Amino acid sequence: MRNVFLELGISQAEIDKRVEDTFNEIFYGENRFYYTTEDGTMGYLVDTGNDDTRTEGISYGMMMAVQMDKKIEFDRLWKWAMTNMYLNDGENKGYFAWSVATDGTKNAYGPAPDGEEFFAMALFFASHRWGDGEGIFNYSAMARELLKTCIHHEEMYGGHNMWTDDGLIKFVPGLEFTDPSYHLPHFYELFAKWCNPEDKEFWEKAAKASRRHLKASCHPDTGLSPEYSYYDGRPYPDHEHFGGRHDWFYSDAYRTMANIGLNYEWSHEDPDFLAWSREIANKLQCFFFKLPSNENRGIYEIDGTILDGKALHPVGLTATIAQASLAADNEHSLRAVEELWNTPMRTGNRRYYDNCLYMFAMLALSGRYQTW
């Protein structure tokens, strides 16, 4: 895997220390947001801005742990998910409640599909890195069953599938729109290799469908994507639900370009998409580096129109602009990585989301976000 930090002249020892320090700050530092239960058998990451635990955060923590070879933390997080988030009955049986209080009480009884896809990928990696155990720690079996549930829920339990028949991930199973930052074709290619054999064709289709969606949802001039979108890529204009508008480039959308960068590093099966990825990553970085410094961490329409207000997660945005350098080759690409290196982790009550994206960028740009 490419180590972009080395290209800046940073030593391997410094890079390794920085990655380890970032993980340790999230899990054990003064500004941590990982905690364990009193008996020490379970662990959870807290969304510090909303004072809850989310499948996004638990699955992100599992991915961080497996990449860093931290099996104890991985198993604690997975046990928390299975104990407090897994839905044993109801219309969403077999999925995970997307929000749970820190005492384990469910705040919701529906899933957010980005959690399920990260759970499955982290579990497969854990299986390959550490081997399968028993029960819920039979990682590969749990991953295969989860993927089966996601795409066969209707026939298994009578509820809604998480992916459309055309292979597009939904924002939530019961609604017919999507979130570009949920689209992880580099995950789906690996799912096709490791899923139940009868589902291989579906995941191959999903990888192709998500690449088409990413091309359609990223603005051709700026590279910016909306938070939510129709299946054809157009921004989804619902301003009445889910906390207001999501047709702009805002918090969720930061992840889209980071995902495109990681796909560029992991997958080489679609040369046309890789060429587009380089072009669109270049456009996104050029958009930000041509903005005045007082406007480069703001809120934007996807065509680049500057709106009132500042980014809720500026450190997360810095991290994802930098991670785009896995695909980009413009005059700003190394500068973006250097800017991340010189940016400290976020403190305060919004640190959770920013520092998750920060950790993933540190892994990706150091060559340590690997396909186990």
The residues annotated as belonging to the active site are 56, 252
CB 110 within 8 A of CB 100: no
Distance CA 202, CA 153 (A): 14
**Cα 246-318-358 angle, rounded to 5 deg:** 95
Number of Cβ within a 10 Å radius of residue 311: 19
Distance CA 232, CA 286 (A): 26
Pairing of strands 53-54, 43-45: unpaired
Q: Which residues pair with 99 in a beta bridge?
A: 54
Query: 267: buried, middle or exposed (CB in 10 Å: 19+, 13-18, 0-12)?
Result: buried
Number of Cβ within a 10 Å radius of residue 309: 9
Comparing CA positions, the residue from 245, 224, 226 lying closest to residue 234 is: 226
Across the chain, the runs of DSSP E, i.e. the strands, are 34-36, 43-45, 53-54, 99-100, 298-300, 306-310
Residue 366 tokens read as 């150091």
Number of Cβ within a 10 Å radius of residue 13: 8
Comparing CA positions, the residue from 93, 273, 315, 276 lying closest to residue 185 is: 273
H or E stretch at 27:
helix 12-28
H or E stretch at 147:
helix 139-157
